[in-house]
């Protein structure tokens, strides 16, 4: 319980970090015309990204929040279980700690404040039966070696849907704060509404596509993906070592930074079909940012697109052929 309460101000820190990025009305950045001044300012982007991460993680040292007088006090739940006997998260709670394996598969689960997934634990909230979905009032924090599955639908079949044929189930989660993962094994997010930011730093299963952890239950390698989601502030994925990474069909309120990620699969780092209302940066990723086999469309970027995702970059679409090519990024307002 003490560990979880130390996360209580992370959403405030996330909002403060986003505020330093100069958001305008509706949470979006005020667009300005690119020019020499913007290019001159760009070398500071790495420090700005580091400041966002530091501010998010710096919230760990803050004091726990004090509930307002008269506010309902929902209980703390420790959802614990194993692969044979998983824990179940359903109903309404104040805070949740996940130890071992916990499923959101028996109807809606509402957490008023934070969810903390402990080391080497797994929270699977990608089930559709009984209107199952997870709603979190503050943040989801994914610890070292832990795994989060959040949301499912057409592009990522729910874990309780039939394995073949037309998809019948979906789950559309909401996180009013941020998703913060440091050293996590994998974070897999689909069809989510995230009011704050997404920060994933380090972790993964290493440079292998061998099944491991909770992924091995489905004979899958460890991977991370963010698809078909709304992210209100920024998404930062850095220093990940894993089998595969995809950032596809998201709407990002401010910036996206995908940098220094090394994947084992040759078709990884698919960063396509996103809308970033300010900047998109892909830097030192291996393999380089690409269309892969997703048959995606160029990223649409409101202000600046840099490096591997730059406006000047033209790549095979889909990858692996030499007939059809496309810009990896185009201007949003063109």
- The closest of 275, 257, 273 to 21, measured between CA atoms, is 257
The answer on pLDDT for 70 being more than 80 is: no
Percent with pLDDT over 70 in the chain: 78
Label residue 254 exposed, middle or buried (CB < 10 Å: 0-12, 13-18, 19+).
buried
Give the start-to-end residue ranges of the domains of the chain.
9-14+46-59+76-160+168-298
Percent with pLDDT over 90 in the chain: 74
The answer on pLDDT for 4 being more than 70 is: no
CA 165, CA 151: separation in Å to the nearest integer?
Answer: 19
Torsion of CA 215, 252, 271, 150, to 10 degrees: 10
- The closest of 143, 129, 63, 34 to 97, measured between CA atoms, is 143
Quick one: pLDDT at residue 40? 35
Quick one: pLDDT at residue 65? 43
> Mean pLDDT in the chain?
85
CA 258, CA 309: separation in Å to the nearest integer?
Answer: 10
Count the helices and strands in the chain (H runs, E runs): 4, 31
Which residue bears the tokens 């949470």?
27
* Residue pLDDT, tens place only, 165-206: 999 999 999 999 999 999 999 999 999 999 999 999 999 999
* Residue pLDDT, tens place only, 78-101: 999 999 999 999 999 999 999 999
As a whole number, mean pLDDT of residues 247-253 equals 98
Going by pLDDT thresholds of 50, 70 and 90, the confidence category of residue 294 is: confident
Label residue 191 exposed, middle or buried (CB < 10 Å: 0-12, 13-18, 19+).
buried
């Amino acid at each position: 319980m003490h560990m979880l309460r130390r996360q209580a101000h992370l959403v405030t820190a996330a909002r403060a970090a986003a505020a330093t990025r100069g958001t305008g009305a509706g949470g979006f950045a005020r667009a300005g015309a690119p020019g020499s001044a913007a290019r001159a300012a760009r070398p500071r982007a790495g420090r700005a990204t580091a400041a966002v991460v530091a501010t998010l993680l710096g919230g760990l040292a803050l004091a726990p929040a004090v509930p307002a007088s008269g506010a309902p006090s929902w209980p703390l739940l420790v959802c614990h279980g194993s692969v044979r006997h998983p824990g179940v998260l359903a109903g309404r709670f104040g805070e949740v700690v996940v130890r071992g394996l916990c499923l959101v598969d028996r109807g809606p689960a509402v957490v008023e404040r934070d969810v903390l997934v402990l080391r080497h634990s797994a929270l699977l909230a990608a089930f559709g039966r009984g209107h199952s979905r997870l709603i979190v009032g503050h943040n989801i924090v994914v610890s070292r070696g832990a795994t989060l599955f959040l949301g499912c639908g057409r592009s990522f079949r729910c874990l309780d849907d039939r394995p073949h044929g037309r998809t019948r189930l979906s789950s559309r989660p909401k996180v009013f704060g941020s998703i913060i993962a440091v050293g996590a094994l994998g974070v897999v997010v689909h069809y989510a509404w995230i009011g704050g930011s997404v920060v994933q730093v380090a972790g993964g299963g290493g440079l292998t596509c061998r099944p491991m952890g909770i992924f091995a239950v489905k004979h899958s390698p460890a991977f991370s993906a963010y698809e078909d989601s709304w992210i209100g502030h920024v998404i930062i994925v850095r220093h990940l070592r894993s089998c595969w990474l995809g950032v596809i069909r998201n709407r990002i309120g401010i910036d996206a930074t995908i940098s220094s990620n090394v994947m084992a699969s040759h078709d990884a780092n698919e960063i396509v079909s996103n809308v970033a209302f300010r900047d998109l940066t892909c830097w030192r990723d291996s393999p380089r940012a690409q269309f892969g086999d997703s048959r995606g469309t160029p990223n649409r970027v409101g202000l600046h697109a840099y490096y591997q995702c730059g406006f000047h970059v033209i790549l095979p679409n889909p990858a692996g052929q030499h007939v059809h090519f496309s810009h990896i990024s185009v201007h949003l307002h063109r």
